[in-house]
Structure 1
Amino acid sequence: MILIRSILLIFFIFSGLLYSQATVTFTLPVVTLMDVEPAGNMTLNFTAPTEAGNPLVNPTPNTSKWINYTSAIATGGLSRRITAALINQPIPGVNIRLQAATASGTGGGALGTPSAQVTLTTTPITIISGIGGAYTGNGVNNGHRLTISLVPGTYANLSPQANTVITIVYTITE
């Protein structure tokens, strides 16, 4: 009888040790973060032609800016997109064009898909769509490289401008 009790006691002790469990609770927050790297302004200037009858010389497109983002979406949530728009009215006769490249760098997940080149106006236009749970990596050479260019639109509407500041606003949304 003592032997049976001892065996049962040993069995219960070992079964408790072998089949113990713990509950772990964790939280994964919904995250939506985006920025443009590096910080700071850029300058694009047309060059006057040196021969009568020739058009303006377009500035070299600027490729120094990168869009970085981090996105964690709730179960069943919508994918995200990034839009771009001008804050102020465009310069008459000048088109400001923007192209986001395919994501590159150290990121991972469901990175977004860039649209074709767009001409910016004060109305937001999608430049990257289909962003899911993803991160692009931080800083230059991570995320989507932006190419910003100026080209004449309608020559009849051109008028000399000096140091005209145009602001582009980028927004990430569902």
Structure 2
Amino acid sequence: MITSNLNLVSSNCNNKSQNKNYFQIIVILLFLAVSPTSYSQGIPPPLGADTNIDEHNALITIPEVALLDLEATNGTTVSLNPSAPTEAGLALSFPVTNSSIWLNYSSIIGSTTEPSRNVSVQITSGTVPAGTSLKIAVAADSGNGDGLMGTPSTPIALSNAAQNVITGIGSSYTGNGVNKGHNLQYTLDLLPSAGAYGLLDFDFNETLVITYTLTDY
């Protein structure tokens, strides 16, 4: 009986020791669950707690740009006056040219809504003198800007109908001022048809308004 009682006491002691060990394991697990080290090991932090990672949004908007300007050293009024002869039997001096004006532009296109732009020109006031034609030739971009520059057309005779003189302008800028962008050369000449000289009239004295427009494709 004594031996049996001793065994019973020993068994109770073992149970207490095991309960203590279980309690220690539970405490360790709870510590790991809330420790910062556990965050980096993929264990989620408590709700609302900060971590070593955060994020925010960055909103970026590219603005649309469509600007055109005409530049010249001494104003943008162009004089095209044939010289009178100093000897009898001679004609007025044709053709007359002027290349003092430069065309500048700044453009930001939209790849889906406005994939490219053109520059059109037309006479919006006044008429060309009878017996003559007024032509415009646009030079290639001078290379002082950057981007997708437009392509000039061949020389055209100006009229009151809009005509494209530069096409395929993308997102680009020419630089601002004289010697930047596209040089414009005007030429006033007699019509090639016979009898054109007889249509000239010294009472003609009119100012033409020539308008350039940067248009959507």
Q: Above 0.5 in TM-score?
A: yes
Number of residues of Structure 1 aligned to a counterpart in Structure 2: 172
CA RMSD of aligned residues (A): 2.4
Report the Cα distance in structure 1 between the residues aligned to 2:160 and 2:40, rounded to whole angstroms. 77
Structure 1: segments with no counterpart, 5+ residues: none
Report the Cα distance in structure 2 between the residues aligned to 1:119 and 1:129, rounded to whole angstroms. 17
Q: Aligned-pair distance for 1:78?
A: 3.5
Higher helix share: 2
Residue 169 of structure 1 corresponds to 211
Q: Aligned-pair distance for 1:22?
A: 2.7
Higher strand share: 1
Identity among equivalent pairs (%): 35
Whether the 8 Å CA contact 1:37–1:139 is kept in 2: the answer is: yes
Q: Is the counterpart of residue 26 in structure 1 residue 56 in structure 2?
A: no
Give the partner amino acid of 2:59.
Answer: T
Tell me: higher relative CO, structure 1 or 2? Use CA pairs within 8 A at least 6 residues apart. 1
Residue 41 of structure 1 corresponds to 77
Moved more, 35-44 or 130-139: 35-44
The CA deviation string for residues 91-115 of structure 1, in whole angstroms up to 9 with x for no partner, is 1112111111001142111110001
Using a 3 Å threshold, how does the CA distance of structure 1 residues 161 and 97 change in structure 2: closer, same or farther? farther
User: Max radius of gyration: which structure?
Assistant: 2
Structure 2: segments with no counterpart, 5+ residues: 1-27
Q: Aligned-pair distance for 1:60?
A: 4.6
Divergent runs of 4+, >4 A: 9-13
Pairwise mapping of residues 81-160 of structure 1 onto structure 2 (< 5 A)?
81-87=118-124, 88-153=126-191, 154-160=196-202
Report the Cα distance in structure 1 between the residues aligned to 2:149 and 2:211, rounded to whole angstroms. 21
TM-score, normalised on structure 1? 0.86
TM-score, normalised on structure 2? 0.70
Q: Aligned-pair distance for 1:143?
A: 0.8
Report the Cα distance in structure 2 between the residues aligned to 1:36 and 1:161, rounded to whole angstroms. 30
